[in-house]
Structure 1
Amino acid sequence: MENYHQKSKWSRFCVMTTTIILIVVVVIAFMPLYNIAERNNIAISIVCGIALIEMIVMGLYYCPVSIIVTQNQLLIRRFFTSKNIPLNEIASVEIYSESTRFLKVCGSGGMFGFYGWYKNKELGRFFIYATNLKELICITLISGKKYMISCEDARNLYNEINHRLSNIQNNEKDNSR
């Protein structure tokens, strides 16, 4: 069985948020270099430069690039690493169409996507890897841990994951006989 692959398409909100924040931080970081009255405040440039590098590295570390479903794993590909979720640890998969009024506990709310710990009334606490809040899938593990992920086409990803899960369950039944 071939691997199933979908890209994580950025929403306009993520593109605008990332662009605006990066521009503001870069301008603040270099302002003392161009303003003679602020030249003595080079510490501001250094702090903003370090913050800029940290935001970019952290954003690229967590930002989802694509979702891959293999025969036995769900891979959330990110720029530097992948988050691997074994399919046999998944209890349920649902297309999430409830409220996206999420409370951010710790993470990003739009810069390089949405990632980190969030919570809401319907789901409780969950970890999100998303670049578009209109195409979300909720994955609940047997342990109770929840992940929200986004991709270009949530319906097709949902169908593919469920198809692979049913294959695993059928194989387990055949092996138990």
Structure 2
Amino acid sequence: MEYKASLDTFGKVITAGVLIVFIAIGQKNVSAIISSNGDVKTTLIHGGVLLLFVLTVIGSYLYSTRKYSVTGDTLVIHRLIGNRVIKLADITEIRFIDSTDFSGTIRTFGNGGLFGYYGKFYNTKIGSMTWYVTQKKNRILLRTLQGDKIIISPDDISLVDCLRDSTVNNM
């Protein structure tokens, strides 16, 4: 069974804003390269900035969550690069979480809006966690036998029922 993972309005605004800023700054860098008359230092600096912007956008897009699916005995978090596969038998807890659970959350190595919210995050209530989130509603916490705390956010919250029905522990 597949479950969509649509980007929320805030994520769309962040993504559009970042792209607009990158394009505007990128145009200035291209102009600087063109007018540098072959100056190597100027070309390398402005070319490096352009490369950084392009790699940031492409990397963020490739690692963004596309959808979730429950197939056989696994939950698959689909990304264009590097799907995350979680065995249903390894899931020890499934529960909805609200905004109070995220108070004081900090990004330790994650993305906070460009094509989604994903990566490593931390707060005192939940601890260290990995997000594969596209919206700030329908957030679900999955705990695994290995101690992982994974946050997902499907469009359709019936994913919780599907996971509970499919897990060995029948939560």
TM-score normalised by L of structure 1 = 0.84
**Residue in 1 that maps onto 2:141:** 138
Inter-partner Cα distance in structure 2 for 1:14 and 1:145:
25
| 1:76-132 deviation digits (Å, cap 9, x = unpaired) | 001223110011111111111242332111110111111111011221110001110
Using the TM superposition, give the Cα deviation of residue 57 of structure 1 relative to its aligned residue in structure 2, in angstroms: 2.7
**Structure 2 counterparts to residues 59-70 of structure 1, below 5 A:** 59-70=60-71
Higher helix share: 1
**Residue in 2 that maps onto 1:29:** 26
Query: Would you say how many aligned residue pairs link Structure 1 and Structure 2?
Result: 164
What 5-or-longer segments of structure 2 have no aligned partner? none
What 5-or-longer segments of structure 1 have no aligned partner? 171-177
**Residue in 2 that maps onto 1:162:** 164
Inter-partner Cα distance in structure 1 for 2:33 and 2:129:
48
2:6 is paired with a residue of what secondary structure? coil
Using the TM superposition, give the Cα deviation of residue 151 of structure 1 relative to its aligned residue in structure 2, in angstroms: 1.1
Residues 24 and 159 (structure 1), Cα distance of their counterparts in 2 relative to 1, 3 Å cut: same
Inter-partner Cα distance in structure 2 for 1:60 and 1:71:
28
**Residue in 1 that maps onto 2:2:** 5
Pairing 1:90–2:87 present: no
**Residue in 2 that maps onto 1:72:** 73
- Report the RMSD for the aligned CA atoms in angstroms: 2.0
Using the TM superposition, give the Cα deviation of residue 7 of structure 1 relative to its aligned residue in structure 2, in angstroms: 0.7
Q: Which range is displaced more, 140-149 or 92-101?
A: 92-101
1:80 is paired with a residue of what secondary structure? coil
Inter-partner Cα distance in structure 1 for 2:33 and 2:50:
19
The AA in structure 1 aligned to 2:124 is: K
Q: Contact 2:138/2:155 (CA < 8 Å) preserved in 1?
A: yes
